[in-house]
A and B are shown apart, each in its own frame.
Chain A
Amino acid sequence: MAEAILSTLRETWSGYVEGLRLVIPRLLAMLTVIAAGWLIAALARAITGKVLGWLRVARLSERTGAAELLRKAELPPAERLAASAVFWLLFLGFLLAGVDALGFSTLQALRSEVGLLVPRLAGALAILVAGLVIANVVRPVVLLAAVNAGWPSASLLAGAVYLLTMTIVTAMVLDQVGLARPMVLTAFAIVVGAVMLTLAIAVGIASAPLVRRLLDERLAARARPESDGSSHL
Chain B
Amino acid sequence: MSTILSDELLSGLMAVGQLDVLVGLPTLNHSDSVGPVVRAAHVAFNRELARERTALLNMDGGSTDGTPDIVRDASIVDRETLLASQSLRTRHRISAPYHGVPGKAAALRAVFAAADLLQARAVVVLDPEIASVTPESVAALARPALAGDADFVSPAYARHPLDGPLVTQVVRPLFRAAYGLALAEPLSGEFGCSGRFAARCLEQPTWESEDLRLAIDLWISGMATGDGLRVAEAAVGPRRLTARPRPAVAALVPQVLDALFTCLRLQEAGWAPGSRAIAVARSAAPPPPPDPPANVDAAGYATLFREGLSALGGMLERVLRPATLEALRAGAAADRPHVPDDLWAAVMLELAAAHRHATISRDHLVRAAVPLYLGRVASFAAELAGLEPRDADERLEALCLHFERSRGDLVALWTAPLR
Interface residues of A (CB under 8 A from B): 67-68, 71-72, 74, 140, 143-144, 146-150, 154-155, 158, 222-233
Contacts and interface: CB of A to CB of B under 8 A. Distances in A.
A155 B362 CA distance: 20
A228 B362 contact: no
Interface of B: 163-167, 187, 241, 245-253, 256, 293-294, 297, 299-301, 303-304, 307-308, 310-312, 315, 358, 360-364, 367-368, 370-371, 374
Nearest to A226: B249
Given A72-B363, A223-B299, A232-B252, A148 B371 contact: yes
Contact of B308 (A68, A147, A230): A147
Contacts of A232: 164-166, 249, 252-253
Nearest to B165: A232
A146 B246 CA distance: 20
24 contacts: A67-B358, A68-B362, A71-B362, A72-B364, A74-B360, A143-B312, A147-B304, A147-B370, A148-B250, A155-B310, A222-B303, A225-B248, A226-B248, A227-B248, A229-B247, A229-B250, A229-B252, A230-B246, A231-B163, A232-B164, A232-B165, A232-B253, A233-B164, A233-B166
A188 B371 CA distance: 38
Contacts, number: 95
B167 A229 contact: no
A144 B299 contact: no
Contact of B364 (A67, A140, A146, A226): A140
Contacts of B311: 143, 146-147, 154-155, 158
A39 B312 CA distance: 40
Contacts of B251: 229
B54 to A, nearest CB: 29
- A contact face: mostly helix, strand, loop, or mixed: helix
Given A223-B299, A227-B248, A232-B252, A71 B371 contact: no
Nearest to B251: A229
Given A143-B312, A231-B163, 11 more contacts: A71-B362, A144-B368, A147-B307, A155-B311, A223-B300, A225-B304, A228-B246, A229-B249, A232-B166, A233-B166, A233-B252
B165 A223 contact: no
Nearest to A224: B300
Contacts of A224: 300, 304
Contacts of A149: 250
Contacts of A72: 361, 363-364
A48 to B, nearest CB: 19
Nearest to B301: A223
A67 B418 CA distance: 15
B116 to A, nearest CB: 31
A140 B293 CA distance: 34
A63 to B, nearest CB: 10
Contacts of A148: 250, 308, 367, 370-371
Q: Which of A147, A154, A222 has the most chain B CB atoms closer than 10 A to its own CB?
A: A147
A109 to B, nearest CB: 45
Nearest to A158: B311
A99 B371 CA distance: 54
A74 B370 CA distance: 20
A97 to B, nearest CB: 36
A225 B303 CA distance: 11
A176 B300 CA distance: 49
A144 B312 contact: yes
Nearest to A232: B166
A74 B164 CA distance: 34
